[in-house]
Chain A
């Protein structure tokens, strides 16, 4: 079946690293995505990783993929208050659609 799971909340202190985890179900997914949604705004693609990679780094963002366990994580280094948002993990099992997780609400406090 199609199911993407994420923890719902994460609270971190400003300057610390944040790690948001996700598990997905469809091993045929070619790409896996992380989207960010700020309050009252649309979704912004943060990064994506091709399924034959196990790590991708983009400035403060590091994506780790464990394809065997179908586990994806997003690490944000030096988390800032502007990083407070909902982060959605998504897989594409083909069929011209994305399957989203429920989103992880990241709260950054001083």
Chain B
């Protein structure tokens, strides 16, 4: 059983398109996150949600909109994709506080052409 699963694993799309990445966790955690890993492997948080409520939005462009239909899901919608959006996007979950283990999904490699 995969604890944190993301789909799709790979996504290639043209500039200007709108795309979504889905994330689900079956751990019963209250908090979910989206991280972006750039080509230099640098990881930076984008969003965190706790019980479906947005907690952190780290100066991410408005083209990125997370949606949490329930606390087991946190989807990422990206509008008007740009070349600079190409990266690996990781979903993660943890108990309410970060002071416990965080589980990461396998990542979604987004390539914008």
Contacts and interface: CB of A to CB of B under 8 A. Distances in A.
A110 to B, nearest CB: 25
Query: Which of B40, B41, B58, B92 has the largest count of A CB atoms less than 10 A from its CB?
Result: B41
Contacts of A37: 41
A88 B99 contact: no
Interface of B: 4, 31, 33, 40-45, 48, 50, 55-56, 58, 90, 92, 97-99, 101-107
B43 A92 contact: no
For chain A, give the interface size range: 20 to 34
A94 B96 CA distance: 11
A31 B56 CA distance: 19
A42 B90 contact: yes
15 contacts: A30-B99, A31-B98, A31-B99, A35-B104, A42-B4, A42-B90, A42-B105, A43-B43, A95-B56, A96-B50, A96-B55, A97-B48, A103-B41, A103-B42, A103-B43
